[in-house]
């Protein structure tokens, strides 16, 4: 079976691996058709991804087709097209008991802690499959990315009319923007990359963007918010300098939500944090209900992922093109692998 294995940082190789076998009662055997490439994969390739070990089969953004299914109560059948929820939670810990399996104490994410979907076929728990009769495999592969933004916006409990800043306009930041707008917020975007900001203006319709290298970011934010600053700030960069600087951006009484992560510590000025009475939140992964809601929104044409895919390659060509995808100057927003 064709498989891609990340042997070590910088070394992605094609291999022939054994077939996964027949599914157990609570599993389905699926054929992988599309694999989204995200920041997690790029960081793993660079050796900078937390909670990661090598060798590893990457791939957690998947559009799949069911080939064979065990006994199930979801009515799934061979031929169904599905998005895969790649978060394998225990169902028993304190987080799972409270409906927060996305941050399970024993969480294993496909393609990160355990092998993922950069292979022709894979066994998946039936509970982690989300069916759509309308969406393409491209769209199904992007549901997981959208879920990260949907969950982060839910964590922030945005209200209509408030002003929000999203830092980092890669796929995760774009997903935050989508759902912040859906919540009725006025959204500002900031990035180091002017091309990505132009994408936000041209494609998503954001009127106000800020280049992160501006000499006075706080002053620019004050100008755009009538001196108030945003009431919610999402940092989707996974960059320590950006995350440390982001404590300067929320309004007094505001919230700061870290959607990206990195290997290391974030430091902040405590007097500034306290005088503003800021709320700091982490946002990790997403929940099953996010997948259901997102599929419904995309099916209803209320969320359009079409402009996001800027690069694609056939499975056999990935070891050759992947090193090019990780280079920022090549402008990859979202790459998709076709099998």
Phi, psi of 62 (to 5 degrees): -125, 135
SS3 256: strand
Q: HSE, CB side, 13 Å, CA atoms: give it for residue 236.
A: 30
- Statement: residue 312 has pLDDT above 90: yes
Q: What percent of the chain has pLDDT over 90?
A: 87
Q: What is the pLDDT of residue 8?
A: 95
Which of 148, 55, 166, 132 has the alpha carbon at shortest distance from 334?
148
Cβ-Cβ contacts under 8 Å for 146 (sequence gap 6 or more): 175, 178, 179, 290, 294, 298, 303, 305
Do 256 and 280 touch, CB atoms closer than 8 A? yes
Which of 18, 33, 86, 31 has the alpha carbon at shortest distance from 58?
86
User: pTM score, two decimals?
Assistant: 0.92
Q: What is the pLDDT of residue 43?
A: 87
Give per-residue pLDDT as tens, 115-150: 999 999 999 999 999 999 999 999 999 999 999 999
Domains 2-131+305-338 and 149-282 share a fold: no
Q: What percent of the chain has pLDDT over 70?
A: 100
Q: For the structural domain made of 2-131+305-338, what CATH number should be given?
A: 3.90.180.10
Do 13 and 5 touch, CB atoms closer than 8 A? yes
Give per-residue pLDDT as tens, 153-185: 999 999 999 999 999 999 999 999 999 999 999
Mean pLDDT, to the nearest integer, of 62-85? 93
Give residue 97's pLDDT band: very low, low, confident or very high (50, 70, 90). Answer: very high
- Statement: residue 73 has pLDDT above 80: no
- Statement: residue 51 has pLDDT above 80: no
Structural domain boundaries of the chain? 2-131+305-338, 149-282
User: What is the residue whose two structure tokens read 């975007």?
Assistant: 189
Do 249 and 220 touch, CB atoms closer than 8 A? no
DSSP state for residue 19 in the 8-state scheme: -
Give residue 74's pLDDT band: very low, low, confident or very high (50, 70, 90). Answer: confident
**Any idea which architecture 149-282 has in CATH?**
3-Layer(aba) Sandwich (3.40)
């Amino acid at each position: 079976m064709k498989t891609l294995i990340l042997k070590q940082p910088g070394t992605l190789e094609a291999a022939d691996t054994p077939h996964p076998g027949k599914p157990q009662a609570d599993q389905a055997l699926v054929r992988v058709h599309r694999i989204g490439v995200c920041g997690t994969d790029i960081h793993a390739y660079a050796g900078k991804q937390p909670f990661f070990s090598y060798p590893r089969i990457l791939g957690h953004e998947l559009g799949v087709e069911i080939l064979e299914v065990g006994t199930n109560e979801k009515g799934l059948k061979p031929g169904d097209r599905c998005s895969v929820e790649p978060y394998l939670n225990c169902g028993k810990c304190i987080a799972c008991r409270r409906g927060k399996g996305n941050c399970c104490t024993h969480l294993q994410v496909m393609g990160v802690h355990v092998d993922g979907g950069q292979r022709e076929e894979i066994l998946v728990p039936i509970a982690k499959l989300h069916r759509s009769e309308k969406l393409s495999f491209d769209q199904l592969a992007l549901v997981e990315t959208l879920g990260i933004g949907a969950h982060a916006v839910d964590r922030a409990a945005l209200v209509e009319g408030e002003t929000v800043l999203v830092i980092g306009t890669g796929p995760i930041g774009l997903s935050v923007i989508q759902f912040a707008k859906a919540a009725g917020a006025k959204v500002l975007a900031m990035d180091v990359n002017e091309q990505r900001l132009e994408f936000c203006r041209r494609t998503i319709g954001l009127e106000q963007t800020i280049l992160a290298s501006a000499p006075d970011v706080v002053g620019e934010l004050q100008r755009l918010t009538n001196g108030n600053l945003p009431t919610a700030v999402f940092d989707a960069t996974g960059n320590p300098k950006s995350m440390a600087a982001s404590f300067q951006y929320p309004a007094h009484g505001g919230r700061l939500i870290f959607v990206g992560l990195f290997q290391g510590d974030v430091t902040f000025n405590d007097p500034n944090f306290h005088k503003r009475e800021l709320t700091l939140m982490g946002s990790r992964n997403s929940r099953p209900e996010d997948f259901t809601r997102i599929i419904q929104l995309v099916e209803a044409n209320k969320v359009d992922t079409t402009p996001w895919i800027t690069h694609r390659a056939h499975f056999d060509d990935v070891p050759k093109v992947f090193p090019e995808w990780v280079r920022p100057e090549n402008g990859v927003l979202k790459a998709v692998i076709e099998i």
